[in-house]
Structure 1
Amino acid sequence: MEKKWDELERWLDGQRLPKGFDVMKEPDWVEQFVRKMMTKSLPAAANSILDQAEEEGISFFETHHFLLVKFHLPREVNREELRLLVRDDRLRIEGLPNNQKETIKLPKLVQPKICRAVVKNFVLQVKLRKRPRAGAYYEADIRWLKGR
């Protein structure tokens, strides 16, 4: 699958797209576009992620910049074996009793390196920074050269 994305990227690089279509060359924009289209066409599927999570003892809370996830741990969990692995679209909790692993699909994309996790009363609370919206402006330094 990755090979096909690379081929598509190379093909887009060689295309002379009309003005305004240059965003098609940005992978983040394409990913966001596809995600929006899937959410619009399958709203029930998008909501099913949240419904399924609630059934499994998982809750989400969203602020402007952060996504908070709460996961109820079993009482038999060993604190030395518990591990939290973070990806931009999901969490994986390892070290649960009976060598179980739990994968939690996140409702929003996050920055995996910016994460805080704490356990209180056998509830794992994870605070994740949401990924900034594509199209954000960043100020760049401008150098002035002497010349004509």
Structure 2
Amino acid sequence: MNSRSKRPEWLSKDSFFNNSSFPFKDLNDLNEDFQLDPTVIEDYVKDTIRQATVGNEMLPNPYTLRYETFDTHNFLVVKCYVPKRVHPENLWIKLNRTQIKIHGLPKDQSQTIVLPVPILPAQSIATYKQPTLQIKMPKMSTGRFRDINIRFL
């Protein structure tokens, strides 16, 4: 019988899966019948990780870019880390005052990044230096304060 097809009993006793006691609760239970085949352990670990991460929204989507936003006095800079599976020449960027939309990701995906402050899209520039795409955008100024004369009536 193949060792991968033979599933040891301790897998079904794991509290993570069946709410019963963990197999190593009492180390005196380990005997010669209990075989620690490396392939079975590897399968067990893979199954445990897969079941623990199902539905976990914290895991990154493989078709989105990781990015950081840097807010300086006059500029907003967004650095996107482009993975090797994305060809940088396939990327194109659209901007408006409050969002960046990056097209050309795998499986015809696009990614929208909401900006924390309004920017001037027409004066923005993007540069790529492996593996980073950097978008430098001037902020919209809130305007300078001006003195306003008060008319007394």
TM-score by length of 2: 0.49
Alignment match, 1:63: 72
Alpha-carbon offset, residue 57 of structure 1: 2.1
1:87-127 per-residue CA deviation (whole Å, 9 max, x = no partner) reads 10010000011111010000110001011111112211100
- The verdict on how the C-alpha distance between 1:82 and 1:132 changes in structure 2, with shifts beyond 3 A counting, is same
The code of the aligned residue for 1:110 comes to I
Alignment match, 2:96: 87
Q: Which runs of 5+ in 1 are unaligned?
A: 1-55, 138-148
- What pairs with 1:1-148 in structure 2 (closer than 5 Å)? 57-134=66-143
SS of corresponding position for 2:126: strand
SS of corresponding position for 1:98: helix
1:38-87 per-residue CA deviation (whole Å, 9 max, x = no partner) reads xxxxxxxxxxxxxxxxxx62111121110000111121222332101111
Count of equivalent residues: 82
Higher helix share: 1
TM-score by length of 1: 0.51
The code of the aligned residue for 1:93 comes to I
Identity %: 33
Q: Which runs of 5+ in 2 are unaligned?
A: 1-64, 147-153
Larger radius of gyration: 2
Moved over 4 A (4+): 134-137
